[in-house]
Each structure stands twice: as structure tokens, then as C-alpha cells.
Homo-oligomer: A and B are copies of this chain.
């Protein structure tokens, strides 16, 4: 079951018009970046009343307070009041940041997210997590707040580069691994180039929704969604400033899932053959990212900033079996280094 506010739609323009019909917003802003302005704006423009276009620069490096200031200023300059609406048209950066700006503008106005990447459709569309990065730490400043609507359309995916599709796919794999073994088996035969994404996304969002519903503010079970992210985020952050080695979110999470599956074997007795299956599927899709031993210590340092930690102890979500995860598993530094060493030592397929 999808959450109340999330809909998979064929035509985003029709869906947006239906949402706006009968609602009386005093003003509407549309937040875009240069990519979504070019590729996605034409798909929804017709549905919007007269609106303010707020254009920001794409990229995780712009998901910060400075860009928020630009968005808040645009709303302020246009005298947006508390009955105004913000529509976020873009991937995770725009949804998280545009949502955060709306949720904090005059202590919160309505916003609608139109996720345009596979990653944001399966991940950011559920759970109401909003926020921005702060001095190198991902999603460090933010709030929990649900959009009035999330309209998911695979029309938006048609203009995405394959690498972006593959990045989003990592979260789909994750949802299957932590909560739906049979979906994992189905995904193994999926061809990323020809997949029917509307169906796959709907299934994956439903898995996430079930987890989130049971724990809206991340006190417990929801933490299993962090599988792959303790080490994955640390890797992503480490390579954020590296021009060549830069990883997309899903690519880092793919590496993180391998590391944390390895630790699941060590600490929770996950079956070796499940680890092999995971490594095989993930490396087939993503290959292996080169992580030199010289970087291990700094990556381990980064895991200390994870939001799920408690009292300076790194807390991870690990797999008990295929399709079942557990949370608040304490990891020590040696284990994190060991997992990175395991990953770096995997044989490269030719």
C-alpha cells in the first residue's frame, strides 16, 4: 500500500491539475534546476496557474544553507503568505531542500514534490525527511514533514542518463534486501535498460511505506532503511570533493551494502551464500569502486557523524537473513575498517 499522499501517475500534468483543483493557494512557486527546467518543466507547465519559477543550480554541493537563502528570499520577495504553495520539480536535492524551505518558511507552508529521478521516486518520496547538507555532513540540518502530495511519474525518467537510473536502483535493491526476499528474486532478472519502472517503483515504495508507517520519526524499525548507508554515506561524503572519484548516491550505497552485508555475516550470522548472491548482483550492476587503503581511516571517521549513532558508537542496520534486517547494531572502528578491506579486496570481474 502506498501512503495517502503518494500517487503513481501516468501523466504528471493531469495529476498536478487534479491536485490544484479546488485548493485555493494564494501563490505558487515552482522550484527547478537547469536540468528539470529543460526536461521536466514542459511536462507540467500547462497544469500550473501563474507561478514564480525559482531556479537553483543542480548538484548535491548546492544542497546547502546558501541555496536555501536564495529560495527563502524568492518567496519573501514575492510576498508569499502562509496559504501559498511550493512545488518541487526535481530529484532528491530539490525535494529535500525545497521541502525544507517550504516547511520552515513562516513556520511551514504547503508543498508538493514531483520526484524526477528514480532515486527520489523510491526513496525521498516516502517518509517526510527533509533537509540540507551542512559543512560536509549530509542531511545534517532538516525536519520531518510530509508533502501535501507526491506525484510519481515515469515520464520524468525518460530523460535521465543511465547512470542516474542505476543509482536509484540501489535503493530498490535495498528495500528488497531488508524487507522483501521475493522482490529481491524478481529484481535479479530485471533489465535496467528496459524495466517497467512504474511497477517496480510502486512495489518498492510500498515496502518503504510499510516500514516508515510503523515508525514515522525514526525511533526504531525505520532505522533498517539505513542498511548500506552507515558505510555508504561515509564513502559518498569522502569522495564528495574528489572530481574524478565522485560517486552518485546509489553507487556509494551499493558499495555500502556490500560492506554491511559482509558485517552481517560476521556479526549476525547471515549465510555466506546470501552474501555471495548480494555481491554478485551488486557488482554486476555497479562494478567495484576503487577505494585505496589510504582512504579507509578518513571514511571510518565519517561514519561517526551518522545520525543513527548514539553516544559516539556507530549504529548500523544489518541483515539477519535475506529480506530481514535489524537495527542498532554497534560497529567498532576495527569492524568498519575490516569491511572496507573486504570490499577493496573483492576480485574485479572482467
Contact = CB atoms under 8 A, between A and B. Distances in A.
Interface of A: 26, 65, 69, 72-73, 76, 79, 81-83, 103-108, 129-131, 134-135, 137, 139-144, 217-218, 304-305, 307-312
A69 B104 CA distance: 16
Contact of A307 (B82, B103, B304, B307): B82
Contact of A104 (B26, B141, B217, B309): B141
Contacts of A311: 26, 81, 83
A69 B69 CA distance: 13
A108 B140 contact: no
A81 B143 contact: no
Nearest to A305: B79
B308 A108 contact: no
21 contacts: A26-B310, A26-B312, A73-B135, A76-B134, A76-B140, A76-B305, A79-B304, A81-B307, A81-B312, A82-B307, A82-B308, A82-B309, A104-B131, A104-B141, A104-B142, A107-B131, A107-B139, A107-B143, A107-B218, A107-B307, A143-B143
A253 B143 CA distance: 31
| Highest count of chain B CB atoms <10 Å: which of A26, A82, A217, A309 | A82
Contacts of A312: 26, 79, 81
A139 B72 CA distance: 13
B81 A140 contact: no
A128 to B, nearest CB: 9
Contacts of A108: 143-144, 217
List the number of copies, as a whole number. 2
A72 B79 CA distance: 29
Contact of A135 (B76, B81, B130): B76
A111 to B, nearest CB: 14
A129 B107 contact: yes
A32 to B, nearest CB: 22
B307 A143 contact: no
A79 to B, nearest CB: 6
A143 B309 contact: no
A63 B141 CA distance: 17
Contacts of A218: 107
A71 B108 CA distance: 22
Contacts of A143: 103-104, 107-108, 143
A81 B304 CA distance: 9
Given A81-B307, A135-B73, A310-B82, A107 B26 contact: no
Contact of A81 (B131, B139, B142, B310): B310
Nearest to A307: B106
| Highest count of chain B CB atoms <10 Å: which of A135, A141, A218 | A141
A129 B26 CA distance: 23
A82 B142 CA distance: 12
Contacts of A310: 26, 81-83
A72 B140 contact: yes
Nearest to A144: B107
A188 to B, nearest CB: 34
Nearest to A73: B135
Nearest to A77: B135
